Amino acid sequence: MDIKLIATDVDGTLVGADHMVIPKVNIEAMNMAKEKGIINVISTGRSLSLAAGEIEKLGCIDYAVISNGAAVVDLKDNSVMTSCYLDKEKVEEIVNIFNKYPLVYEIYADKKGFISQYTYDNFRKCSLPNEFMDYYKTKMEMYDDPMDVVRNTNVEKFNVDYTPEECIEDLYKDLEKVTDIVITAGFKGNVEITAVGADKGKALKFLCDEIGVDMKNVMAFGDSGNDVTMLTEAEESYAMVSGNELAKEAAKHVTKLSNEDGGVGETIKEYLTNTEK
């Protein structure tokens, strides 16, 4: 096994339950990998703006797969290497559907995140830590009308959280009428919408082809449904022991430790130690 690139999901994988703290071992291990000439990639459902803090803390990330694979960004200059945006007509159709329900959702577009005051206020009422919410507000752009956003940007993804249980079935029925979109869920009440062709697996494969890395030389980490395509593509893929069954079924391996305990870093360190013998 000769690993040349490591790709890791962020929430539920790289960071702890507070969505902010990266276990020290993860930072150490990824920097050790960088020193060995290994390329480091984050592959996240977040927009680039929302992942910027984690990229800065790690200090060793070369590329970012963002919004579940809707875009690949070269972090040397933040240029978009490839993209798979939602169609302009589709995004208006989706917003019109959302307007029928009391939904809390984000729009990820042009590497940024957009929310309404209603969404922010509802996030505040949930169990998310205050420190994270304060940070989150500095990274998101507020809008009054979602149509203003979707008509004037390239939309990467819609991310719906805490969907009321009584709305889920009808919401899915409405969304299933929209063609050429992919609907995934990371957890109960979550709905993530991207264009057909936008997924972490395809984005990672594009990046590897572009920079000359074979997928057999890729190590990947993830914890949920939106990581499945990436875990399937990578030769050395790991689902977090704390992850869901979809991820575990797709991955070749399961980490010994959870995201809280630095399962990513411990796995990387174990690989680096074994290759030095």
Note the pLDDT of residue 62: 99
- Domain ranges in the chain are 5-83+199-276, 88-195
Per-residue pLDDT tens digits for 37-86: 999 999 999 999 999 999 999 999 999 999 999 999 999 999 999 999 99
Per-residue pLDDT tens digits for 58-68: 999 999 999 99
* CA 92 centroid distance within chain: 23
Where does the pLDDT of residue 208 fall: very low under 50, low under 70, confident under 90, or very high at 90 and above?
very high
What is the CATH T-level fold of the domain 5-83+199-276, as seen in this structure? Rossmann fold (3.40.50)
For 88-195, the fitting CATH number among 3.30.1240.10, 4.10.220.20, 3.40.50.300, 1.10.10.200 is 3.30.1240.10
Per-residue pLDDT tens digits for 93-133: 999 999 999 999 999 999 999 999 999 999 888 777 788 88
Note the pLDDT of residue 39: 99
Per-residue pLDDT tens digits for 163-204: 999 999 999 999 999 999 999 876 778 899 999 999 999 999
